[in-house]
Amino acid sequence: MSSEPLYPAYLPTRPDGYAPTLDVPYFEADEPGTRADPLKQTLLKAGASLTNITPRIGTEIRGVQLSQLPSAGLDEVALLAAERGVLVFRDQDFADVGFQKQQDIVQYYGPLHKHPTMGYPAGTGPEFHVVYADETAGNLRTLLGPHTTYDLWHVDQTFTPNVPSTTFFWVLEIPESGGGDTAFTSLTAAYEALSPAFRQLLGGLSLYHTSASVGEVARVGMERALKEAVSTTHPLVIKHPVTGKPSLFVNPTIARKIEGFLPEESDHLLKFLHDHIKSLDFSCRVKWEKGTVVVWDQRAAAHSAVPDFKDGERRHVVRIIPYGIKPEPAFPGQFSASG
């Protein structure tokens, strides 16, 4: 455990002290998945072989290098990620193509999220979010303190009008004794599992999302989290901007209040929905291997870390998030922005 990291250049630092604001004002966004070939002929011609992880979420892809795809192929990646929730690209050279190329590829999908507090590799910027655990840095368990479980299902950074879209997450080093998977659940399949009567109720509701949330409070403390809070409201059921499918856009760590409901009503309904999205019927667990790059659509899938690896072991993963459009309600006729 005292060995050197495999990718020391990717250790988290914040050498310049740069702390971008959490706020991202609304902007007109592009959705590359909307112009993709539905048959994904560029990906298939490049040699991609696709295997579903489960029927409802997740596709494992071999035989193609993300770093070499033309723009038509990147469009198809966005469409496929929207359709399947999460894509697991194996045997990639992505970790070794350099900061600039990594950033350029993800930036193709939209302006990049800049994390206000987490460290980034020296020579890059807060567009790179390094998830790093070792004997000194600790891990999610040591950060959050004692709990029965560390499931933290969420969608990243949804407290701004535009929300994260086609997100890239690639592994540099895997815990020596195994573990440290990432779990994903389909928000479109979670919606489809509900009855028509219940869907009718949800289609008219909106959710309050705020950065003064569980993760941010753990990271910077309650006082600072409240002072710097950025908040917005999104429909509870959104129309996926690429597939057009309704998506149950809940976010257990960031969106904890249904607009217009009294606190007990909101808590009760959200508890049901937060339990519902955890179902094994429409979730999957991604096991990292050397060379794995995960690409997922944050409007179609929520995710959770699985911090089950041994204390002190090193886990090193890097994420870059692009922003997509501001979510629209799936059923505008039922929806009332004021709740």
Q: Which are the contacts of 16, defined by CB distance < 8 A and separation ≥ 6?
A: none
Nearest Cα to Cα of residue 190 among 260, 268, 279? 279
- Shortest spacing between CB 302 and Fe ion, in angstroms: 9
> 42 vs 166, which CB is nearer to Fe ion?
166
Q: Which stretch binds Fe ion (CB under 5 A): 15-23, 54-62, 82-90, 150-158?
A: 150-158
Instruction: Give the three-class secondary structure for 272.
Output: helix
- Shortest spacing between CB 304 and Fe ion, in angstroms: 8
- Shortest spacing between CB 162 and Fe ion, in angstroms: 17
Active-site annotation holder among 56, 209, 303, 314: 303
User: Residue 38: how many CB atoms within 10 A of its CB?
Assistant: 9
Q: Which stretch binds Fe ion (CB under 5 A): 13-21, 148-156, 170-178, 247-255?
A: 148-156
Q: Which are the contacts of 45, defined by CB distance < 8 A and separation ≥ 6?
A: none
Max CA separation in the chain (angstroms):
59
Nearest Cα to Cα of residue 201 among 274, 269, 292? 269
Q: Which two tokens stand for residue 226?
A: 């409240």
Number of residues counted as binding Fe ion (CB under 5 A): 1
156 binds Fe ion (CB under 5 A): yes
75 is catalytic: no
314 is catalytic: no
> 75 vs 156, which CB is nearer to Fe ion?
156
Active-site annotation holder among 134, 156, 181, 297: 156
Nearest Cα to Cα of residue 77 among 98, 114, 48, 104? 48
- Shortest spacing between CB 198 and Fe ion, in angstroms: 27
303 is catalytic: yes
- Within 70-109, the residues that bind Fe ion by CB under 5 A are none
156 is catalytic: yes
What are the phi and psi torsion angles at 112 (to 5°)? -90, 145
- Shortest spacing between CB 147 and Fe ion, in angstroms: 17
Q: Which stretch binds Fe ion (CB under 5 A): 13-21, 125-133, 154-162, 278-286?
A: 154-162
Active-site annotation holder among 129, 154, 209, 240: 154
> 129 vs 239, which CB is nearer to Fe ion?
129
Cα 248 from Cα 188, distance rounded (Å): 6
Instruction: Give the three-class secondary structure for 164.
Output: strand
- Shortest spacing between CB 252 and Fe ion, in angstroms: 12
Q: Which two tokens stand for residue 164?
A: 């994260």
134 binds Fe ion (CB under 5 A): no
Decide if 29 contacts 162 (C-beta within 8 A). Answer: yes
> 134 vs 156, which CB is nearer to Fe ion?
156
> 75 vs 181, which CB is nearer to Fe ion?
181
Q: Which stretch binds Fe ion (CB under 5 A): 84-92, 152-160, 270-278, 290-298?
A: 152-160
Nearest Cα to Cα of residue 314 among 118, 139, 122? 139
- Shortest spacing between CB 230 and Fe ion, in angstroms: 17
Q: Give the chain's end-to-end CA distance (angstroms, integer).
A: 52
> 42 vs 211, which CB is nearer to Fe ion?
211
Of all residues in the shown chain, the one whose CB is closest to Fe ion is 156
The residue count of the chain comes to 339
| Block residue for tokens 């050197």 | 4
> 42 vs 182, which CB is nearer to Fe ion?
182
Cα 325 from Cα 105, distance rounded (Å): 18
Cα 180 from Cα 336, distance rounded (Å): 41
Q: Which are the catalytic amino acids? A: 154, 156, 303, 319
List residues near Fe ion by CB under 5 A.
156
